Structure 1
Amino acid sequence: MFLLISVVLTLWLSCAHGQGRTCDFPEIKHGSIYNENRYKKSFPADVGKYFYYTCEHSFVTPSQSLWTRINCTEEGWSPTPKCLRQCFFPWVENGQSTSSGQTHREGDVVHIVCNAGYSPPNGQSSIACGESGWSSPPECRRVYPQGRCGPPPPIDNGDTVSLPLPQYPPESAVEYKCQAYYVLQGDKHIVCRNGEWSEPPKCLGACVISEEMMQQHNIQLKWRQDRKLYTRTDDNIEFTCKYGYRPTTPNHTFRTTCHEGKVVYPHCE
């Protein structure tokens, strides 16, 4: 009986001691092991095995080496494989920081001192480098008293209806308009609230149908003889083959739509 108990105890100790003697495939966020597709099928790995891993662009290993070695041990992977975000800190306009021009790693905290009349976003004098980048934009913004706003933000291919002012009181509204053939998307008015403007609209691009483009596809406008046509987003355009050519794309492609400055052309040969 004693012998049986001794054998069972020995087997139990052996199994217990043997647990954790292999390492599962290391799932590395923002990183991968060397030649991953080749070696992945060899896991779990035995104690004593080692691999090298690297990180994606904008991420770095704790050792900052291009390839870092990890070893399978009784306790698991050593060192623990991980990839840390890198955040570049630019020169701060209207402010200063001892970190200007430097690259920081995930977890680092940077302090910003803004010039008189300027403040960091949300009034935070410190920002942190995290997995997604800086917790707030590394900049100093103009501070206007009593919730006032500065000039309205510019937009591409559009402008405000009235000339911008240096400052606007709270709840002021400004109207935008787009250039010819551009279509305004969003509310044409923005409002000043708590010292910030609401989101401005966008001006969606116009399409230019030129003689050169039609020549390349052996097509022409179906109902017009123009050599160049400007059309707005969501407008329909109809083409037909030039004399002596036949369609090589489906019939429905000869009636197309301008979409934010882009047109898919039919083709004839």
Structure 2
Amino acid sequence: MTCTEKGWYPPPICVRVDVSCVNPPRVKNAVIQSERPRYQNGERVRYECIGTYDILGDVDVTCLNGTWTKAPQCKDSPGKCGPSPTIDNGGITSLLTPVYPLRSIVGYQCQAYYELQGNRNNVGENGEWAEPPKCLETCEISEEMMKKHNIQLKWTTSKKLYSKTQDHIEFICKRGYHPVTPYRTFRTACQEGKVVYPRCGQNTG
């Protein structure tokens, strides 16, 4: 500029500088919520740690005059557990979360006609879950099957019986029939929804 009789010439011009921000800082083991390609001055970006990692520092960074404030860190938190194991033919009765604190307990239950085998409650220790229980199918002994094999239940007259896995079931021949299969087969057990039935044949003579 030059000092003239009328003042400084040419007069200064203020040009607006772009103070927006792009490319928020990348944080290991973290994701950015609702990420966009550009942010205006004063806007914030929020971070969320994944898995069992905990955030260290502010969860937000701010765009200030074209630069970002200091980003947080995601540190591994020993002892925490990820999602609890699922089981077939059953479900979890506790609140489901992606991360559980040390020594958290989750409860399990089975669907109808399934029997829970193992500990109903599972405990998370040192980042790992114990072995979850299993849901084993129960056995249904129906009148139709007993009629087909000429047998009946030894200790009950019920037309239907539900038996748990490994429970013993005893049969006898109906009146007028004799064993066809060995005597040991008349005392059998439910094996995860399946039963091997003994057979009886009609007496002759």
Normalised by the length of structure 2, the TM-score is 0.54
Matched AA of 1:201: P
Residue 258 of structure 1 and its aligned partner are, at CA, apart by 1.5
SS in 1 for 2:200: coil
Asked if the contact 2:51/2:98 (under 8 Å) is kept, the reply is no
Which of residues 232, 246, 250 is equivalent to 2:182? 250
Residue 231 of structure 1 and its aligned partner are, at CA, apart by 0.7
Residue 159 of structure 1 and its aligned partner are, at CA, apart by 2.8
Normalised by the length of structure 1, the TM-score is 0.42
Residue 181 of structure 1 and its aligned partner are, at CA, apart by 5.5
Alignment correspondent of 2:51: 143
> Which whole-Å CA distance do the structure 1 matches of 2:94 and 2:51 have between them?
23
Alignment correspondent of 1:204: 136
1:207-226 matches, within 5 Å, as 207-226=139-158
Residue 232 of structure 1 and its aligned partner are, at CA, apart by 0.7
Alignment correspondent of 1:162: 94
Q: Percent identity?
A: 59
Matched AA of 1:160: I
Which of residues 84, 109, 125 is equivalent to 1:177? 109
The runs of 5 or more residues in structure 1 that have no matched partner are 1-115, 119-141
1:114-125 matches, within 5 Å, as none
Matched AA of 1:155: I
Alignment correspondent of 2:197: 265
SS in 1 for 2:94: coil
- The structure showing larger relative contact order (alpha-carbon pairs under 8 Å, at least 6 residues apart) is 2
Identify the structure with the greater helix proportion.
Answer: 1
> Which whole-Å CA distance do the structure 1 matches of 2:123 and 2:199 have between them?
47
> Which whole-Å CA distance do the structure 1 matches of 2:175 and 2:141 have between them?
19
What is the number of equivalent residue pairs in this alignment? 132
- Structure whose CA Rg is larger: 2
The runs of 5 or more residues in structure 2 that have no matched partner are 1-28, 32-49, 54-76
Matched AA of 2:97: L
Matched AA of 2:52: Y
> Which whole-Å CA distance do the structure 1 matches of 2:97 and 2:51 have between them?
15
Matched AA of 2:84: P
Alignment correspondent of 2:161: 229
> Which whole-Å CA distance do the structure 1 matches of 2:30 and 2:195 have between them?
47
